[in-house]
Structure 1
Amino acid sequence: MSVATDPSLLPVAAAVIALHDARLSRPGWPAGEDEAGEDGVWHWIALNHRHNALLWDEEDLSRRTTVDDREIAANKRAIDRHNQARNDATERVDEWLLLALGLVDAASARSDAPTARLPPGARLNSETAGSIVDRLSILALKCRAMRRQCERGDVDEAHRRLSRTRLARLEEQRADLGGCFDELLADCRAGRAGFKVYRQFKMYNDPAFNPVLAAERPRT
């Protein structure tokens, strides 16, 4: 049985969280990384995390008020690119997991209309496993940012105390979400639940579908 169809090789939340934290602690990351060292679903989990981190940095930069508007425009365009890449990686995570679970027709998995194969009576989970991975990535970034607030020396103790309270809540949310991820995959293995690959069809990046970009194109 290949990796792509072996349910025993499905990721667990603790390993996903560990990957997220390991990447955040790596010097120089996320710049210059393409996650080529990861195999299978882990490549897409790592790539999703990388683009979330790059997106986070661009979001911070786009809030600047003392730079030329051209720099902010460049940040906004970078945000669109990273958001698209993050979304694409999320969909690849779902494709890989559904193939491993046997819950999608392999020939249609990468198409605009993947054919689901849910067992009779299985509940359809509204949130996909890939979207949970995406949310865990964002929570990892939030935890890091709040942890830095706890360590600041240029603020008073009240600020650090509030930051510690918020960090504890964020860590609780991440643990709870990780539990939901593991429970969803366990239910999928047991035939009690399933999810589908949902295409986001983000139109703002596509000149063929964004009406403003379409209007800018020269008429022939």
Structure 2
Amino acid sequence: MGGPVEDSGRIPKVTGSVQDWTQLQIDCVRRWHDEPMANPYSGWLRWVCQQHAFNFELWHEEDVARNPNVTDARIAEVKRSIDRLNQQRNDWIEKLDDAIAESIQQSSVVVAEDAPINTETPGSAIDRLSIMSLRLFHYAEQLQRQDADAEHRSKVEARWLLCQVQHADLSASLQTLVDDIFAGRKRHKTYRQMKMYNDPSLNPEMSGS
């Protein structure tokens, strides 16, 4: 990726549909398995891609961490990488929600007084869809294994089909949520996750105290 997107202070306007965002995630997963990671998008889609990239890297670092043949030193290195990537992933969930909040304000959306708040923010749902796109890709890989027996393929196919249903359900639910937010039928807030483990002032193990 060449590092995170530079934060120029300009928050992009939310553009496109949920289908556009999820197709970006699916396309990037396929492309990044065959060529170096890159983010060719602009505006809001660039931010969606950047958040997705941290999940892509996390997925593969976690695979390394589960390898029984790697050394303890390598595991420690990977664990630190996972912590760093997970923090960046969470930071970018909040950035996506901040961009949505800014777009709502710029669009002069009038929020109904009794508008409820959803149990999950759009940024969190985009994150879940990102992870699901990775899961779908890797289950599809398993289906193509020539050394797998029929039982394995049957189990994988059932899970792959269920993942497709869940991906479609969440995509549709997110589109409804986004539509409701921009119509003022639901209230939107960025919820700060306030992770403690990567903050030396809050984690005594990091400060050595």
TM-score, length-scaled by structure 2:
0.87
Aligned to 1:135: 128
Amino acid at match of 1:134: D
Please show how residues 155-170 of structure 1 align to structure 2 within 5 Å: 155-170=148-163
Question: Please, which of 48, 54, 58 is the counterpart of residue 45 of structure 1?
Answer: 48
Report the Cα offset of residue 50 of structure 1.
Answer: 0.5
Aligned to 2:22: 17
| Contact 2:24/2:49, CA 8 A, preserved across alignment | yes
Distance 2:152 2:67 in 1: 23
Greater than 3 Å deviation, 4+ residue runs: 3-6, 27-33
* Counterpart amino acid of residue 201 in structure 1: M
For structure 2, the 5+ residue unaligned runs are: 1-9
Q: 2:67 matched to which residue of 1?
A: 64
Partner of 1:106: none
Q: How does 1:1-220 map to 2 (within 5 A)?
A: 9-27=14-32, 31-33=36-38, 35=39, 37-102=40-105, 118-214=111-207, 216=208
- The answer to whether the 8 A contact 1:23-1:29 is kept is no
Change (3 A) 1:188 1:5: farther
Mapped contact 1:5–1:102 kept (Cα < 8 A):
no
Shift of 1:77: 0.5
TM-score (norm 1): 0.83
Q: Which amino acid aligns with 1:14?
A: Q
Percent sequence identity over matched residues?
A: 35
RMSD value, Cα: 2.4
Supply the distance in 2 between the matched residues of 1:139 and 1:70 (Cα, whole angstroms): 30
* Number of equivalences: 199
Superposition deviation, residue 10 in structure 1? 3.3
The CA distance in 1 between the partners of 2:130 and 2:193, in whole Å, is 19
In 2, the alpha carbon distance for the partners of 1:29 and 1:84 equals: 26
Question: In the TM superposition, what is the alpha-carbon distance from 1:39 to its structure 2 partner?
Answer: 2.3
In structure 1, stretches of 5+ residues that fail to align are 104-116
Which structure is richer in relative contact order (CA contacts within 8 A, separation 6 or more)? 2
